[in-house]
Amino acid sequence: MNNLVVCVHTSQAAEAISTYASRIGLGPAVRTVDCAAALFVELRRRPVGAVLVDFGLAAPDPVKFTQAVRTRFPQTGVVLCGTADPRTAAMSILAGARGVLQVPVITGEELMVAFAQTVMLVRGAVADAVRLVARQRQPEGARLTVRELEVLKLMSEGMSNAEIGRDLAVAEDTVKTHAKRMYRKLEAHDRAQAVAIALRTGLLR
């Protein structure tokens, strides 16, 4: 099971996911669709290890949606992302969702972080795809300090710079400094790419 299907609202979001997946070496393992109906077509077409679905596309009842996927395709893990009230999020987990990622806006960097988190959550399901890139050489100089690793781990959990600063009891500007140094060492352009690199090179487990 090395396939991941991402269900997002717009063609722009789908294109961003496809481009990002290719950039980190997971292109062949990732497909995108823009509605629940297309998702079920994809699930019937081939074995899928996991799906990442926008809460809006799991409407009107994300809990029943999760149950439907898990009942009809028990080999497929479900990860929901977007904004949901705590009760819906909890009920989705009880219905069999592998994870719920609370993301205020499913566009841009937030979407890329949600994608990277999903790969981490369902690592077993996409293990074959991850192994394809795991052998890639870790960038020279990618020896992170303890603090840089802490910042990277909290980024992988979806925290903002301000939240990371509060968690580590440092100023937000200090977090930004650690992040810039960490990006440079990992040869990453942004936090989402840094998290992806860390996942495939074993910095994050």
User: What are the extents of the domains in the chain?
Assistant: 4-134, 146-201
Is a pLDDT exceeding 50 seen at residue 147?
yes
Mean pLDDT across the chain, nearest whole number? 79
Q: What was the pLDDT predicted at 3?
A: 82
The closest of 127, 146, 177 to 1, measured between CA atoms, is 127
Q: What was the pLDDT predicted at 134?
A: 39
Q: What is the pLDDT of residues 157-179, one digit of tens each?
A: 788 999 999 999 999 999 999 99
- 26 or 41, which is more confident? 41
Determine the topology of domain 146-201 in CATH.
Answer: Arc Repressor Mutant, subunit A (1.10.10)
Which residue, chain included where needed, has tokens 């925290």? Answer: 159
CATH (one of 3.40.50.10240, 3.40.50.2300, 3.65.10.10, 3.30.70.20) for 4-134:
3.40.50.2300
Strand partners, 54: 81
Is a pLDDT exceeding 70 seen at residue 142?
no
Q: What was the pLDDT predicted at 188?
A: 85
The closest of 67, 72, 123 to 96, measured between CA atoms, is 67
| Range from 21-30, 65-74, 131-140 that averages highest in pLDDT | 65-74
Q: Please report the DSSP string for 61-86 in residue order.
A: -HHHHHHHHHHH-TT-EEEEEE---H
Q: What is the pLDDT of residues 72-120, one digit of tens each?
A: 998 888 888 888 888 888 888 888 888 887 766 556 667 777 777 676 6
Q: What was the pLDDT predicted at 186?
A: 86
Q: Is 189 helix (H, G, I), strand (E, B) or coil?
A: coil
d(CA 128, CA 183) in angstroms, rounded, equals 26
Q: Report CA torsion sign: 90, 193, 190, 32.
A: negative
Task: Report, in angstroms and rounded to the nearest whole number, the Rg of the chain calculated over CA atoms.
Answer: 17
The closest of 150, 157, 204, 201 to 179, measured between CA atoms, is 150
Q: What was the pLDDT predicted at 68?
A: 93
